[in-house]
């Protein structure tokens, strides 16, 4: 059973079309994607800045990139990657405010 890339968080710039709901459905059709979460970060006259979080057992970055490019989107950065047998959450070293 493969345990490749399990989570990718992407910073993406896209035109207003397709809508976020349509883009999420386009990405979720990839057989390696188990789930997708898209959050709107900023809107301007022609574009939307979004954060795309994907989870699966063996995500293929190139396949995801191709889907986004077909939708007219551009990946600005890969903000997080989790790979291996388990999903490891980021640990904050900042003290919590009481």
Domains of the chain: 5-83 (3.30.70.1340)
Q: Which residue has the higher pLDDT, 86 or 54?
A: 54
pLDDT tens sequence across 42-75 = 999 999 999 999 999 999 999 999 999 999 999 9
Measured CA to CA in angstroms, residue 5 lies from 43, 74, 90 at distances of 30, 21, 15
User: Among 67, 35, 30, which Cα is nearest to 53's?
Assistant: 35
Q: Are 10 and 69 in contact (CB under 8 A)?
A: no
CB 38 within 8 A of CB 7: no
74's tokens: 């551009």
């Amino acid at each position: 059973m493969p345990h490749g890339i399990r989570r990718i968080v992407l910073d993406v710039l896209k035109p207003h079309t397709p809508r976020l709901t349509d883009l999420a459905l386009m990405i979720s059709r990839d057989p390696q994607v188990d789930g997708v979460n898209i959050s709107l970060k900023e809107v301007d006259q022609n574009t939307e800045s979004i954060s795309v979080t994907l989870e699966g057992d063996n995500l293929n970055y190139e396949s995801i990139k191709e889907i986004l490019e077909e939708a007219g989107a551009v990946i600005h950065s890969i903000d997080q990657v989790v790979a291996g047998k388990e999903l490891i959450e980021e640990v904050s070293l900042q003290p919590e405010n009481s």
